[in-house]
Structure 1
């Protein structure tokens, strides 16, 4: 057998015999650049009201608008990539990140800064598009490890973003931070232009504008209250109205899309058991992933006078957590070996279980009144990073086994969207729990500060552990597929 066989069409796929290492390296680097956009803003959030002369409630949109735009564009970009070429959409994505970074670097007020952050969000489909490109250009025996590396770029960029941003903002200038991002995006775009070939498989057809607008409205009605509910109030009429609008818009969008000849998202495919269970497991895994972005950093930076606080500064705390991103990269290759031996469903279940072990260690440490130390938080973060590396690499493998080659961009875009829904839900739920548990303690300067209580950390971690368990059970419920090449994905 000389090439991978598409299970649904039976067609022989044509991929190069040699490993396009340079193209894979460039795609992974582009994924890391885009992942940086999610975390570089975190060290600046407390300073933005002063830097941009705006209220804290307004500057918090600097994070929200990027995630919202990124969530909307990911499945749309995947569909456009299937129709008009993935390379073209990758170049457009990196161009948007570069322009958005320049706008942010030149901004001195809130409005242009938010425009720049929205433009950066338009690049968030890069990782899903990169995974789809790899199915076109990477030979079967190398596809699993290449896809795993591309998936892990999300964690690597996220882990490196905090210390990178903290160091530049602290020792140089916050404007320099965005100039550096612009340069990285330009370099990524040039690399893609010279190393990534044009897509050979395209779906053609007309773009579903109605479906895209409906998807944007639906996601806005869901993600806006999830992001702002803690500010507006969860029982506030505005919050409830957005959730009600989401139900109405989602229902209408579903019926309209089912009747369209060329829908934005193939809903018949989306509800097939392998795809549906993988996407639900992705929501649960995304929830567990973002919880670990929120919980340890607060413990590490909480004053030592607070319950379990370690009193570290932002740069030191982010350096403690950075190795977890590197382990995510390493264990993405472990996931490829597991997939070759046992299939991607076992890899996803294994990843969920390893993440769960990390949360168990954390819960036992808090509940058992252990003396927390930075090295214990490092162990917990590394366990969760290793599990995420395994799980995130298995998800696109499961998706690509269930869809035709020309549907890869769309299907991976939807799967990436499910992870965004999981992270947004995690931010809302964990943030709400930690806020409700706030206690007042003495700060390092003698003044009073509010920090989450021990009970808040316990409840947030327990819910995240439940999400890991759900992802593991769903992974094992995915029906085993007839193996093509186990190395394929």
Structure 2
């Protein structure tokens, strides 16, 4: 009986291109429904009998629900199954589409748009499925297409929604998406295998609530700041609420062993810089989509407008969408040849060059289309690289959650861009024939700002370390040998190894440790963090011999060479020696016996103490990381000394020389 996971066996029934096409279409539809309402925003006040300010909630509510749902659904995908959560997100999108179209009122339209926003996790979860389901050599191209689907759908949503509205009415802009969504759900059930890579753990409800509250407050302040006033009480209150939420969220995530977002992993240089780049790329990308159609629709009376209809202006974005599809193989080739970092640098540079074209050439429609296409090509290349960098630097059991955070931060960039564009277009205006229009300088200012964002993203990408470890697109290890050799797609048999970190003496769990897996040549394979109960999970590319290294701040690291069969396995790792803080208390070179040695955490918390022996030696249990006060009370019970120590230190042996016999004179090491 084959030990290969059932998901991989079932995936063989259908070609890989069907999996890629299904997930890619899902990403396009999800992105399309986000922009489908934009061309109709001027029409909604008449359709629903509401104000223009009310209508803006059609965009805002989707943005807010996506900010809440994306990190939560992505984390649940890692825990309980990626395809399962993908289907849930798509079902909510379909439910939202039919709710908005059948309800017939503005309230029901808002509810429907809120449900549609929950589908924001489709792209990051889909990318993680591609990493798990496809052979190594096909991942780069598939991830490139899936990443570009965000821009493709956004570009196609503008002309298609206008066309559907003119032919079938506003309700059709929703139910058409719903019908396509139903077909895609069926395709996912049939063609897309469920990943066996999971890391079940208790869900972080507190972290989810605080992150959702903070992101909702930030995005609401950004999107409504121009309408309510940036110095208004509601906006200032939202920003204050966001600050409080994040101030509570960060320490809460660091304290739990099963966080919604692993901040320690997110702080790793490649992940942190890629997420910063995501904000900048999101800002730069969205300016191209928002401004192009508005520029083309301006009245010819301005001298720089072209007077195109909503439909005609939307059709000019089709070349941009097609260019993003065409460039996916190019970005995959760059990634496979030079690495994802080079791909990100290339894409951001192309975006910056595209905005230079947009600033200089604004006289004709073809010039504007060419500039938009160049920016879109750079966008597709950039967005293809970011998931690969993320997946190469996080545990393979946490790829969906990490991609979800990256997607969320990209949305922060697009939201910030939307607010900046609205402010600039409203501020730099001209009056012509009794009408007020955005000035040409307003468009050029936006392009310059977006170009600088692209240049900043290029600089950030250059700071990302060159990959010295496995990338999601690199050939995996050959089963049973531990050497790096490409294998045919049908031989790819990833195995999941689970276990616990335990104390060898009494078998109690050792939480918050890290497990790193290396191949027999010392090359990195995967790594993972243990939760509060010591549970860990790592993903191996196949059976064979591997080196497993486990570490925890309070225990001496352990390593062992293990041979795993071609099947998922369980292995517990035992720590043998608990670390302690030791040293010797001396005065004038002579040992001080019976001195009271105290370790105190400033601001309260744990306190441990002991007394030095006849040789002046002391030993204290090694506490968790942080800043401590190490104090000494001499045998006379009156004279004291103290100093600060930062733990864990490279050496946990601290010898203490008493500097004098006066109280509070301090310690000298």
The TM-score normalised by the length of structure 2 is 0.68
**CA distance in structure 1 between the partners assigned to 2:381 and 2:183 by the alignment:** 29
Q: Which residue of 2 aligns with 1:10?
A: none
Q: Which residue of 2 aligns with 1:258?
A: 254
**CA distance in structure 2 between the partners assigned to 1:330 and 1:74 by the alignment:** 28
Q: Is residue 2:370 matched to residue 1:379?
A: yes
The higher relative CO (CA closer than 8 Å, separation ≥ 6) is in 1
Q: Is residue 2:416 matched to residue 1:394?
A: no
Q: Which residue of 1 aligns with 2:334?
A: 338
Q: Which residue of 1 aligns with 2:177?
A: 181
Q: Is residue 2:461 matched to residue 1:470?
A: no
Is contact 2:358-2:372 (8 Å) kept? no
Secondary structure in 2 aligned to 1:439? strand
Superposed displacement of residue 63, structure 1: 0.7
Equivalences for residues 65-464 of structure 1 within 5 A: 65-365=61-361, 372-442=363-433, 448-464=434-450
Secondary structure in 2 aligned to 1:174? coil
**CA distance in structure 2 between the partners assigned to 1:418 and 1:412 by the alignment:** 10
Q: Which residue of 2 aligns with 1:6?
A: none
Superposed displacement of residue 485, structure 1: 6.0
Is contact 1:100-1:120 (8 Å) kept? yes
**CA distance in structure 2 between the partners assigned to 1:124 and 1:388 by the alignment:** 18
Superposed displacement of residue 339, structure 1: 0.8
Superposed displacement of residue 214, structure 1: 0.7
Secondary structure in 2 aligned to 1:125? helix
Name which of structure 1's ranges 346-355 and 430-439 shifts more when overlaid on structure 2. 430-439
Is contact 1:343-1:486 (8 Å) kept? no
Superposed displacement of residue 332, structure 1: 2.0
Is contact 2:89-2:119 (8 Å) kept? yes
Name which of structure 1's ranges 479-488 and 107-116 shifts more when overlaid on structure 2. 479-488
Is contact 1:142-1:488 (8 Å) kept? no
**CA distance in structure 2 between the partners assigned to 1:404 and 1:362 by the alignment:** 40
Superposed displacement of residue 379, structure 1: 0.3
**CA distance in structure 1 between the partners assigned to 2:136 and 2:42 by the alignment:** 47
C-alpha offsets along residues 295-324 of structure 1, whole Å, 9 cap, x if unaligned?
211110000111411110111111112210
Secondary structure in 1 aligned to 2:203? coil
**CA distance in structure 2 between the partners assigned to 1:19 and 1:195 by the alignment:** 9
Name which of structure 1's ranges 34-43 and 171-180 shifts more when overlaid on structure 2. 171-180
Larger radius of gyration: 2
What do you get for the CA RMSD once the two structures are aligned?
A: 1.7
Superposed displacement of residue 365, structure 1: 2.5
Q: Is residue 2:48 matched to residue 1:27?
A: no
Q: Which residue of 2 aligns with 1:481?
A: 467
Secondary structure in 1 aligned to 2:257? coil
Secondary structure in 1 aligned to 2:155? helix
**CA distance in structure 1 between the partners assigned to 2:471 and 2:459 by the alignment:** 25
Q: Which residue of 2 aligns with 1:445?
A: none
Is contact 1:277-1:474 (8 Å) kept? yes
**CA distance in structure 1 between the partners assigned to 2:174 and 2:90 by the alignment:** 14
Secondary structure in 1 aligned to 2:336? helix
Aligned length: 467
Is contact 1:19-1:138 (8 Å) kept? no
Q: Is residue 2:52 matched to residue 1:52?
A: no
Q: Which runs of 5 or more structure 1 residues have no equivalent in the other structure? A: 1-13, 367-371, 443-447
